[in-house]
Amino acid sequence: MDYDPAMATSGIVGSPARASAVGIASGAALVAAVFLPWYEGNLGSPTVPGARSGWESTTVAKGVFVLAVVALIAALLIAADVADVLPLERRTAESLAWLLVASSIVAGVLVGYRLARPPGPAEFLSRDIGLFQGVAAGGAVAGLAQLARRG
At residue 3, the pLDDT reads: 44
Q: Is the pTM of this model over 0.85?
A: no
Instruction: State how far the Cα of 1 lies from the Cα of 43, in Å rounded to an integer.
Output: 66
Q: What is the DSSP string of 95-116?
A: HHHHHHHHHHHHHHHHHHHHHH
The overall average pLDDT reported for the chain is 78
1-55 pLDDT, tens digit per residue, is 344 444 444 444 456 677 678 888 888 989 999 998 888 876 655 445 577 888 9
**Has residue 100 got a pLDDT over 90?**
no
Instruction: State how far the Cα of 101 lies from the Cα of 74, in Å rounded to an integer.
Output: 10
Which sequence spans correspond to the domains of the chain? 17-145
At residue 69, the pLDDT reads: 94
Average of pLDDT values for 125-134? 82
Which helix (H) or strand (E) segment holds residue 127: the answer is strand 125-127
Instruction: Give the pLDDT band of residue 151 (cuts 50, 70, 90).
Output: very low
Average of pLDDT values for 92-113? 87
**Has residue 124 got a pLDDT over 80?**
no
- Of the candidates 94, 73, 78, which has an alpha carbon nearest to the alpha carbon of residue 28? 73
**Which amino acid belongs to residue 38?**
W
